Amino acid sequence: MEGKVALKKLLEVQEKACVSNTDALNWTQEPSIRNTLGYTLLSLSLNNLEPPQSHEQQPLNQLALLQIELEELKKENQNLRSMFNEITEHYAALQSKMNNQVTPQEAKIIEDQAFEASCKKARVSVRARSELSLGDGCQWRKYGQKISKGNPCPRAYYRCNMGTACPVRKQVQRCAEDESVVITTYEGNHNHSLPPAARSMACTTSAALTMFLSGSTTSSHGTTFSNSDLFSSLSASTHYPSASSCPTVTLDLTQPSKDYLKFPSASAISSNHSQTAPLSLHAYPQQSEGLPSEKNFPLVDVLSAAITRDPSLKAVLEATVSSIIGDAQNILSEHQ
- Residue 71's Cβ-count burial label (10 Å; 0-12, 13-18, 19+) is exposed
CA distance 135 to 133: 6
Q: Which residues 245-264 are close enough to bind DNA by CB under 7 A?
A: 245
CB nearer DNA, residue 62 or residue 220: 220
26 three-class SS = coil
287 three-class SS = coil
Among 158, 217, 225, which residue's Cα sits nearest to residue 188? 158
Which residues are CB-neighbours of 177 under 8 A, at least 6 positions away?
A: none
Smallest distance from DNA to CB 249, Å: 15
From 74-82, 124-132, 175-183, 242-250, span contacting DNA (CB under 7 A): 242-250
**Which of 62, 94, 153, 157 contacts DNA by CB under 7 A?**
157
How far is residue 200 from each of residues 25, 197, 224, measured CA to CA in Å?
19, 5, 24
CB nearer DNA, residue 243 or residue 266: 243
CB nearer DNA, residue 32 or residue 248: 248
Q: Does 150 bind DNA (CB under 7 A)?
A: yes
**Which of 75, 144, 195, 259 contacts DNA by CB under 7 A?**
144
**Residue spans of beta strands (DSSP E) within the chain:** 123-129, 140-147, 154-160, 169-174, 181-187, 224-226, 235-239, 248-252, 279-282
CB nearer DNA, residue 75 or residue 192: 192
Smallest distance from DNA to CB 244, Å: 5
Q: Does 171 bind DNA (CB under 7 A)?
A: yes
Which residues are CB-neighbours of 302 under 8 A, at least 6 positions away?
A: 211, 214, 215, 225, 227, 230
CB neighbours (10 Å) of residue 128? 18
Smallest distance from DNA to CB 151, Å: 8
Query: Would you state the torsion angle of the CA atoms of residues 208, 211, 213, 219, taken in this order, to the nearest 10 degrees?
Result: -110
**Which of 55, 121, 146, 192 contacts DNA by CB under 7 A?**
146
CB nearer DNA, residue 44 or residue 168: 168
Q: Does 153 bind DNA (CB under 7 A)?
A: no
φ/ψ of 265, rounded to 5, equals -120, -10
Q: Does 149 bind DNA (CB under 7 A)?
A: yes
Strand partners of residue 238: 249, 279
From 85-93, 104-112, 137-145, 282-290, span contacting DNA (CB under 7 A): 137-145
From 28-36, 50-58, 140-148, 298-306, span contacting DNA (CB under 7 A): 140-148
Q: Does 133 bind DNA (CB under 7 A)?
A: no
CB neighbours (10 Å) of residue 246? 13
CB nearer DNA, residue 94 or residue 197: 197
Q: Does 243 bind DNA (CB under 7 A)?
A: yes
Q: Does 142 bind DNA (CB under 7 A)?
A: yes
Q: Does 164 bind DNA (CB under 7 A)?
A: no
Contact footprint for DNA (CB under 7 A): 140-146, 148-150, 155-157, 161, 169, 171, 242-245
